[in-house]
Homo-oligomer: A and B are copies of this chain.
Amino acid sequence: MTISFSAPPRDKAALEGQGTFTPKFDANGLITAVVTDARDGELLMVAHMNDEALSLTLETGIAHYFSRSRGKIWKKGETSGNLQTVTEIRTDCDQDALWLKVTVAGHDATCHTGRRSCFYRTVSLGADGPAVSITDDVRHFEPGAVYGDGKA
């Protein structure tokens, strides 16, 4: 890893101003990344980065995350071809979350189910309790044909 991130300043004005980027990683060394399509702003996925994934993303311009389930760096789309080229990265007021605007290659799909976005279901409160219903069921690729382990 070539980038060394500085610890967050204690001074609130410094934390909320401009200058050095001081991402606040959580107790597990991770920071939340919200990923939207640079084309139209659609929310595609939410993932996590450790310092190495963030460093790789800043250096290469291709989104890298940390897979919590696999415990390692995850170059998104390496298997499926749906690589994400980062057009802009933003951070929030306390620098504990990132917003990546990306363009998606390959099938123009981000979800491992083949859908464009991981957020393909709507939550509602029904008579039988909270429920989810599928809002977007368009598959851009057939998961079984692309990978066997179920991850994009």
Contact = CB atoms under 8 A, between A and B. Distances in A.
Interface string A8-22: 000010001111110
Interface string A98-135: 11000000000001110000111111110001111111
A130 B58 contact: yes
A20 B43 CA distance: 23
Contacts of A41: 36, 40-43
Interface residues of A, number: 51
Contact of A18 (B3, B4, B133): B133
A113 B93 contact: yes
A46 B134 contact: no
A37 B124 CA distance: 19
- Smallest CB-CB A-B distances: 7 pairs: A21-B130, A92-B118, A41-B41, A46-B97, A89-B123, A90-B119, A21-B132
